[in-house]
């Protein structure tokens, strides 16, 4: 016979998000979700300058706009058209 007991598992929860570029806090909306922002995660491969490192970056919308104006090739929207910068 099995005797069962309840147990709880703690999972990490994001408490705050700050823009890596400007340092401003990404605010939450009325129901507790973070305002729209860009999150990038990259694990670097062998022979790169960051061999084996994992980098996580968050950018607010304003800093994303400032960043993409420097792109030689602009990002494309889901409709296949280039984003106007």
Could you read off the pLDDT of 4-25 as tens digits, one per residue? 899 999 999 999 999 999 999 9
Q: How many residues can be counted in the chain?
A: 85
List 58's β-bridge partners, or say none: 39
In angstroms, the CA 79 to CA 68 distance is 18
Q: What is residue 80's predicted lDDT score, i.e. its pLDDT?
A: 72
pLDDT level of residue 30 (50, 70, 90 thresholds): very high
Which helix (H) or strand (E) element contains residue 67?
helix 61-68
pLDDT for the residue numbered 79: 74
Distance in Å from the first CA to the final CA of the chain? 67
């Amino acid at each position: 016979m099995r005797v069962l007991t309840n147990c709880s598992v703690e999972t990490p929860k994001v408490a705050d998000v700050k823009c890596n570029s400007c340092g401003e806090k990404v605010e939450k909306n009325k129901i507790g979700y973070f305002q729209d922002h860009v999150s990038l995660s990259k694990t670097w491969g062998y022979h790169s300058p960051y061999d084996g490192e994992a980098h996580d970056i968050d950018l607010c919308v304003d800093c994303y706009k400032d960043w993409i104006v420097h792109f030689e090739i602009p990002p494309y929207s889901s409709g296949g058209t280039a984003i106007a910068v």
